[in-house]
């Protein structure tokens, strides 16, 4: 099973600042099948990025995914008020599919 470790656990930032979230896999993610999701309180997750760097439909270009193999990052270039949420990485290249434990981006 691939273990995904997300850092930091919490990121305290102000609107307009840049957020950089990390996701490290315990082994190489097949075909870079790594996705990022955003989840706000009481809501279902929303797909942001798939295959490491592709934005899902309707996702603003301030969200950028990068990385390959075992190291991946999600960058939010300038935080908007609606971006404060929990972010999860997810690998879907190897069964069992697994998620990271999440990074909370909170308002400073």
Partner 1 sequence: EVQLVESGGALVQTGGSLRLSCAASGFTFSSYDMHWVRQATGKGLEWVSAISAAGEPHYPGSVKGRFTVSREDAKNSFYLQMTGLRVGDTAVYYCARGAGYGVSRGLDVWGQGTAVTVSS
64-93 residues in contact with partner 1 (CB under 8 A) are 88, 90, 92
| 58 contacts partner 1 (rule: CB under 8 A) | no
Written as one string, the DSSP assignment of the chain is: ---EEEE-SEEEE-TT--EEEEEEESSPPGGG-EEEEEE-TTS--EEEEETTTEEPTT--TTEEEEEETTEEEEEESS--GGG-SEEEEEE-SSSSPEE---EEEEE-
Which position among 63, 67, 79, 100 is part of the footprint of partner 1 (CB under 8 A)? 100
Closer CB to partner 1, residue 3 or residue 78? 3
Residue 13 engages partner 1 in binding (rule: CB under 8 A):
no
Q: How many residues bind partner 1 (CB under 8 A)?
A: 26
- HSE value, Cβ hemisphere, 13 Å, CA-based, for 47: 15
Residue among 16, 61, 81, 95 that touches partner 1 (CB under 8 A): 95
Could you list the residues that contact partner 1 (CB under 8 A)? 1, 31, 33, 35, 37, 39, 44-47, 50-51, 54, 56-57, 88, 90, 92, 95-102
């Amino acid at each position: 099973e691939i273990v995904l470790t997300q850092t930091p656990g919490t990121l305290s930032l102000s609107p307009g600042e840049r957020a950089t979230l990390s996701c490290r896999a315990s082994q190489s993610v097949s075909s870079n099948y790594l996705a990022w999701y955003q989840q706000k309180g009481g809501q279902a997750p929303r797909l942001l990025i798939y295959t490491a760097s592709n934005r899902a439909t309707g996702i603003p270009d301030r969200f950028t995914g990068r990385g390959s193999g075992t190291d991946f990052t999600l960058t939010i270039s300038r935080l908007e008020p609606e971006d404060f949420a929990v972010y999860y990485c997810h690998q879907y290249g190897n069964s069992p599919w697994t998620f990271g434990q999440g990074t909370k981006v909170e308002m400073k």
